[in-house]
Amino acid sequence: MDPLVLTESTIPDLKESRPRGRVSQALLIVGFIVLVIVALIMFVPFLFSLATSFKTPPDATKLTFRTMFWPPAPTLDAYRTAFDSNIGRWFLNSALVAVVWIVGRIAMDTLAGYAFARMHFPGRDLIFTLMLATMMIPGIVLIIPRFILLQHLHLLNTYGALTVPFLADVFGIFLMKQFFESIPLDLEEAARIDGASRYQIFRTIVLPNTIPALSALAIFSFQGSWNNFVEPVIFISGGNTNLYTLPVGLANFKSLYLTNWPVLMAIAVITTVPMALFFLVFQRYFISGNLVSGIKG
């Protein structure tokens, strides 16, 4: 990949920019209106799904202006059915899997990223280039051999299938490598002169400075695992519903209970709300992560 070097510093704080050229006040207003319309278009589907989740199935299919976004007889039935169908367990699974991803990646990607950035060992660049090359391979391409491998390891239809293949990822390593390379060498050199070992340097000097990057990696891993669908739906095929993560639960619920749209929307809402909250709080990292990598997102 030709990494476009958009480091953290070039994002999220939006600078006050001067209007370019002769952009009149009228154009600004038009622009504002356009943005508002587009923002509405972005919100409407989510609002609609939220409203539907509080309706009964017959109400949901009869749309009128008044009842489009406001249920005529709000009910929690859909959510109750969702919980009866084990959505609580799905939620826990998604959360558990996310935690494992985050911990695994922070551990493995950070170590590897640091090694690629700072250490010298034969084959370093070759191994890294090979890893980078694999970033372009879509998940669906490797799904069959992974499936076979997990079958041999007896990990199919277990939590292992949802976590083990994802404990390290090339993008995370790349991210951490970039970040470590941006830390001035002097600090480390000074410690080296003082006689610290590699491990000590890593632990006492490098790590504390890496918190922002680790946060970005954590957010990214959370986003990746929470929404991950291709692999779970194939690796957990046919297991009992206790192993489902939220997206898998939603997809399978849909294929089983065709006509109950409010329940589907309820599951959709429950899946989206945690991500929305996370996003609101950690906006900066989401967007920065997206820019630095550009591969996901």
Footprint on residues 249-288 left by another protein (CB under 8 A): 250-252, 254-261, 264-265, 268, 271-272, 275-276, 279-280, 283, 286-287
Which CB sits closer to another protein, 153 or 212? 153
Interface residue with another protein, options 125, 145, 184, 208 (CB under 8 A): 145
CB of 209 to another protein, least distance (A): 14
- Report residue 140 as tokens: 């669906």
End-to-end CA distance of the chain: 16
Q: How far is CA 5 from CA 116, 179, 231, 273, 285, in A?
A: 18, 11, 31, 33, 17
- Report residue 59 as tokens: 């109400």
Which CB sits closer to another protein, 198 or 212? 198
Query: Contacts with another protein in 102-121 (CB under 8 A)?
Result: 107-109, 111-112, 114-116, 119-121
φ/ψ of 13, rounded to 5, equals: -70, 115
State yes or no: residue 34 binds another protein (CB under 8 A).
Answer: yes
- Report residue 208 as tokens: 């504390």
CA-based torsion, 160, 161, 163, 164: positive or negative? positive
Burial class (CB in 10 A: 0-12, 13-18, 19+), 137: exposed
CB of 211 to another protein, least distance (A): 19
Residue 27 makes CB contacts below 8 A (sequence gap 6+) with none
Using CB under 8 A, count the residues that bind another protein. Answer: 132
Which CB sits closer to another protein, 13 or 211? 13
Stretch 165-194: interaction string toward another protein, x if CB under 8 A:
xxxx-x--x-----------------xxxx
Query: Contacts with another protein in 47-76 (CB under 8 A)?
Result: 48-49, 52, 57, 61-63, 65, 68
Q: How far apart are CA 231 and CA 288, in angstroms?
A: 26
Which CB sits closer to another protein, 48 or 159? 48
